[in-house]
Amino acid sequence: MSTHDETDVATRATALLGRELHAHGVTLRITEVEAYGGIHDPASHAYTRTARSEIMYGPPWRLYCYRSYGIHWCANVVTGPTEQAAAVLLRAGEVVDGLDLARSRRPGVPDVRLARGPGNLAQALGITGDDLGSELLDETGAVHLGPERPPVGRVSAGPRVGVSRAADVPWRFWVTGDPTVSAYRRSPKAPQASE
DNA sequence: TAGGCGATGACCT
DNA sequence: GGTCATCGCCTAC
């Protein structure tokens, strides 16, 4: 993959930070994302083209949902470019509207942790496989993005959480110092970091 | 068709 | 800090 492609993927991912996501009565301000480069990224589901990853080969700005470890749902934004099948995993955010609804979906959890971690984020927003393929720029849809926002002031970058391949690629981005960001945990299967 | 594994989270010490 | 539940996908027979 060319350097230009890598920059592109990172730019599209960081552009989602600070942007709002509306889903099933809850509004979330995105504070943490991970970029997945698609066909050239060994850590991406699109690295092998299957029925599950097919949606990433389609038009951008659609929702890619997948089930992780059998129990949790994770939400991704297909960012394109289409031929690259790139997507961005939404890892954490701050609930800014529909707080009571989010709390009812995550009983007993402090507000700051309502949408911390990709599985928890999807749960707080009520996102499941039924939302697969949602048009995220369609304001009438049950799941959609808010308008573009100016870039967030301070953004940190680091390796992606829990991936066993390409574990040292710094494609996790978060709003520096934000309390809703999840903790980093390296995959137990990932090779030793080469420092 | 069967076996292994994972872009996780919760609970334990 | 560490361990483990849990099941849909993917790959190899």
pLDDT, residue A129, reads: 94
pLDDT, residue A184, reads: 84
Phi, psi of A171 (to 5 degrees): -110, 25
How far is the first Cα of chain A from the last one, in angstroms, to the nearest whole number?
Answer: 22
Give domain status of residue A105, yes or no.
Answer: yes
Give domain status of residue A182, yes or no.
Answer: no
Task: Please tell me the pTM assigned to this model.
Answer: 0.94
Give domain status of residue A11, yes or no.
Answer: yes
A110 touches strand B (CB under 7 A): no
* CATH code (residue A22): 3.10.300.10
Distance in angstroms, CA of A120 to C1' of C3? Answer: 20
pLDDT, residue A3, reads: 65
Counting DSSP H helices and E strands in chain A, the numbers are 3, 8
Distance in angstroms, CA of A92 to C1' of B6? Answer: 20
The residues of the protein lying within 7 Å (CB) of strand C read A 45, 48, 50-53, 67, 69-71, 129
Nucleotides of C under 7 A from a protein CB: 5-11
The amino acid at residue A125 is: L
Give domain status of residue A111, yes or no.
Answer: yes
CB atoms under 10 Å from CB of A166, counted, come to 18
Q: Which two tokens stand for residue A34?
A: 């991970």
Distance in angstroms, CA of A110 to C1' of C12? Answer: 45
Distance in angstroms, CA of A48 to C1' of C12? Answer: 16
Give domain status of residue A154, yes or no.
Answer: yes
Local mean pLDDT, 10-residue blocks, chain A (195 residues): 73 96 97 95 95 96 95 94 94 97 95 96 96 96 94 91 92 95 85 59
Distance in angstroms, CA of A186 to C1' of B8? Answer: 12
The amino acid at residue A71 is: I
Q: How many residues does chain A have?
A: 195
pLDDT, residue A113, reads: 95
CA A193 to chain centre: 24
Give domain status of residue A190, yes or no.
Answer: no
pLDDT, residue A34, reads: 97
pLDDT, residue A1, reads: 56
pLDDT, residue A121, reads: 97
